[in-house]
Structure 1
Amino acid sequence: MSKRRIYWTLQIVGWTLLIMLEFVPYTLEYGFESGVLYSALANVFLGIVLTHIYRLVIQKWNWSSLPLPRLALRVIGSVLLLGLIMALVNQPLDRHYLAENLINQPFVFWGYYATWCKNLFAWILSYTVYHYVEQTRLAGYEKIMLRMSMREAEAKVLRSQLNPHFTFNALNSIRALVYEDPAKAQVSITQLSNILRNSLLADRRKTVDLQEELKTVEDYLELEKVRYEERLRYSITANPQAIYWQVPPMMLQTLVENGIKHGVSKEMGGGFVDLSADIVDDILFITIKNSGSLISTESSTSESGGVGLKNTAERLSILYGKGASFRIFQEADKIVCSEVRIPTLSDNTLMTE
C-alpha cells in the first residue's frame, strides 16, 4: 500500500473512530437523533480538512527541517488555532442538543477548547514526529549518497592520471627502435598499448588485481629501459598469495614513475627500482625502493611527481579510509622508500558508509 493511501486511510478511520467514541455513548444514553449524526459527520469532515491543511502547510514550508525549538512553537500554535476552530464550530451545534444548565456554565467553552486541543495535539504530534524522522532519514541518506558521489568523482579523476611526458618520451624511443630493432619496437608498442588501455579503463574500475597492476608496472619499466638502457635496473617480486589482492589501478605505476623521474634520472650513473609485495597479518604491504634523495623529491612537490604522491594518499583514503596508509621516506643514503599498506577489499570503508 502506498504512503498516500495509508495516510488517507488513517485520516478517515482515525477521525471516524474519535467522533464515534462520543456519538455512540450519547446515542445509547439519549437515543438516536439524526441531527446529532449529521453533527458527528460534520466533525469527521472538519477534522480531516483541518489536519490535511496542516499537512500541506508543514510540507510546503518544510517545517521538518527547522530546529526543534522552532518546530515545537509551530506545532503548539497549530494545535491552539485548529482547536479554537473546532471549538467555535462545535459549541453552537451542541447548544441545540445539550441541556441549558450545561451550556450556560461559564467555563464550558474552555472545556470544549481543551478537549479539541488534546485530540488535535495527538494527531499533529504523531504526524509531525513521523514527518520529522522521515525527513531526517532522507536527508541523512541524501548526504551519504552525495558524499559517495563526490568521492567517486574524485576517485575517477585520481585513478586516471598518466603523465603525458611519459607517452611522448615512449613514442620517441619507439621511433628510434623502428630502424634499430624492429622486433623490439613491436614489443614496445604492445607495452605502450597495454599501459594506455589500462589508463583509459582506470576511471571505470575502483580496483584491479595486483598481478594486473604489476604487469602494467613491468610494461612501464621496460619502456623506460628503452630510454635509459643500462642506467635503469629494476626488479619486481610478489607473494603468490597476494597477486589477486585488490589495489587501485595505475597507483603503483605512478609511484614507480615518481621514483624514476625524481631519483634514477637525476643520478649520473643511473639507478634502480625495486618493487616488492607481501602479506603480513592480512594486510598487503607494497614497498618501492629507488635510487635518489627524498630532498630532491620534496622540492618538486609542485610538479607532477608531488601531485602524484598526494593523489596516491587521497585515493587510498577514498577507497579504504583509515585502513590504508601511504608514506615515503629516506631509508638510507641515496635510497628512497615508498610504502603502501592496503587492507582487504571487505574492509573498504566506502562500501560500509
Structure 2
Amino acid sequence: MSKQKIYWFCQFFGWSLLVLVDYLAYVFEIGFDYETFYLAIANIFLGVTLTHLYRLMIRRWNWVRLPFFQLAPRVLLSVLVMALIMTMVNLPIDRIIAPETLMNEPFVFLGYIMSWGKIMLAWVLSYTVYHYVEENRNAEIERILLKTSIRETEAKVLRSQLNPHFVFNALNSIRALVYENPTKAQQGITQLSNLLRNSLLADRRKTVELREEIKTVEDYLALEKVRYEDRLTSHIDLDGRTLFWQVPPMMLQTLVENAIKHGVSTAVGGGFVEVKSMVEADKLHILIRNTGVLGDKKASGGFGLANTAQRLELLYGPEAEFRIFQEENTHDQTGETFAIRNGGPVVCAEITIPAQSEGIFRKKEVSVRSEK
C-alpha cells in the first residue's frame, strides 16, 4: 500500500473513530436523532478537511525543515486556528440540539476550544513529528549519497593516474630501438599500449585480480628495462593463493614507478625492484622492495604514496593498511642478493588488504587448477 493510501485511510479511520465514539456516548445518554448523526458525519469531513489543509500548508512551505524554535509557534498557532474553527461550527449547533446540557457549563467556549485543541494537537504532533523525522532521515541519506558520490569520484581520479613523464620517456626509449632492434621496439609499443589501455579502463573498475595487475607491472618494468638496461634488475614472487585477490587497478604500477624514480634512478650503480605477495592471517600482503633511502615522503613520490593510502581507505576502510619504511636488515634471500649486489640500502612498501569475497577467489583458483 502506498503512503498516499495509508494517509487517507488513517485520516478517515482516525476521525471516524474519534467522532463516532463521542456520538455513541451521546446516543446512549440522550438517544438517537438524525440531526446529531448528520453533525457527527459533518465533523468527520470537517476534521479531515482541516487537517489535510494543514498537511498541504506544512508541505507547501517546508515547515519540517525549520529549526524547532521556528516550527513550534507555527504548530501551536495552527492547532489554535483549527480548534477555533471546530468550536465555531459545533458550539452553535450544540446549543440548539442540547441546550440543557450546556446551560450549567461555565466557560463553555473555552471548554470547546480546549477539547478540540487537544484533538488537533494530537493529530498535528503525530503528523509533524513523523515528517520531521522522515525529512531529517532523507536529508541524512542525501548527505551520505553525496559523500559517497564524492568519494567515488575521488577514487576514479586516483586510480586513473599515469605519469606523463613515464610515457614521454618510454616513447623516447622505443624510438631509439626502432632502427637498432625493430622487434624489441614493436614489443615495447605493445607493452606501452597495454599500459595506456589499463590506465583508461582503471576509472571503470574499482578492483582487478592481482594477476592482471601484475601483468601491468611486468609491462611497465619491461619498458623501464629498455631505458635503464643493466642498471635495473627486477624480480616478482607471487604466492599462488593471491593471484585472484582483488586489488585497486594501477596501484602496484604507481608504487613500482615510485620505487624506480626515487630509488633505482638515484642510485649510482642502479638497483633492484622486487614485488612479492603472500597471505597471512586471512589478509593479502604485498611487498614492493627497492634499492634506495627513505627520506622526506613528499620528496619520495608523495602523491603516489598519498594516492595509495587514500585509495585503500576508500575501498576497504580501516582494515586495509599501507606503510613504507627503511629496511635495516634484509631477510629475504632474493632481496638480500640484490641488495648486496647493488651495494645499497633497501626501502619496503607494504600493502595489507583484508579478505574480500574469499569464497569467490577460491572458486576461481580451483577452476583454473582443474583446467590445467
**TM-score, normalised by the number of residues in structure 2:** 0.87
Show the 5 A alignment for 1:241-320: 241-295=241-295, 298=297, 300=299, 305-320=301-316
Q: CA deviation at 1:239?
A: 0.8
Q: C-alpha separation between the residues in 1 aligned to 2:48 and 2:98?
A: 25
Equivalent position amino acid for 2:269 in 1: G
2:82 is the alignment partner of 1:82: yes
By how many angstroms is 1:49 displaced?
1.6
User: 1:327 is matched with which residue: 315, 323, 329?
Assistant: 323
Matched residues in 2 for 1:73 and 1:237: separation? 71
Deviates more, 1:250-259 or 1:33-42: 33-42
Residues 84-108 of structure 1, C-alpha deviations (whole Å, 9 max, x = no match) = 2212221112110113462452222
Q: How far 1:316 moved relative to its partner? A: 0.7
Deviations 1:144-189 (A, max 9, x none): 2112111110000000000011111111111221211122122212
Q: Which residue of 2 aligns with 1:7?
A: 7
What is the CA-CA distance between 1:324 and the residue it aligns to? 0.8
Secondary structure of 2:174's counterpart equals helix
Q: SS at 1:229's partner residue?
A: helix
Report percent identity of matched pairs: 60
Greater shift in the superposed pair: 188-197 or 25-34: 25-34
Q: How does 1:1-353 map to 2 (within 5 A)?
A: 1-68=1-68, 70-100=70-100, 102-103=102-103, 105-295=105-295, 298=297, 300=299, 305-332=301-328, 334-345=345-356
Q: Alpha-carbon deviation of 1:67?
A: 4.1
| Distance change in 2, residues 1:30/1:161 (3 Å) | same
Tell me, in whole angstroms, the C-alpha distance in 1 between the residues paired with 2:205 and 2:84. Answer: 62
SS at match of 2:97: coil
Measure how far apart 1:200 and its partner are. 0.6
**How much does 1:340 deviate?**
1.0
Counterpart-to-counterpart distance in 2, 1:156 and 1:345: 20
SS where residue 339 of structure 1 aligns? strand
SS of 1:293's partner is: coil
TM-score, normalising length: structure 1:
0.91
Q: Distance in 2 between matches of 1:121 and 1:185?
A: 83
Measured after TM superposition, the shift of residue 70 of structure 1 is 4.7
| Superposed displacement of residue 47, structure 1 | 0.8
User: AA paired with 1:330?
Assistant: Q
In structure 1, give the amino acid aligned to 2:292.
G
Gaps of 5+ in 1: 348-353
Count of residue pairs the alignment pairs up: 343
Distance 1:298 1:76 in 2: 61
The superposition leaves residues 308-346 of structure 1 with CA deviations (integer Å, 9 ceiling, x where unpaired) of: 111111111111110111111222463211111111235
Gaps of 5+ in 2: 329-343, 359-372
Please tell me the residue identity of whatever aligns with 1:177.
L
* Matches of 2:315 and 2:77, distance apart in 1: 49
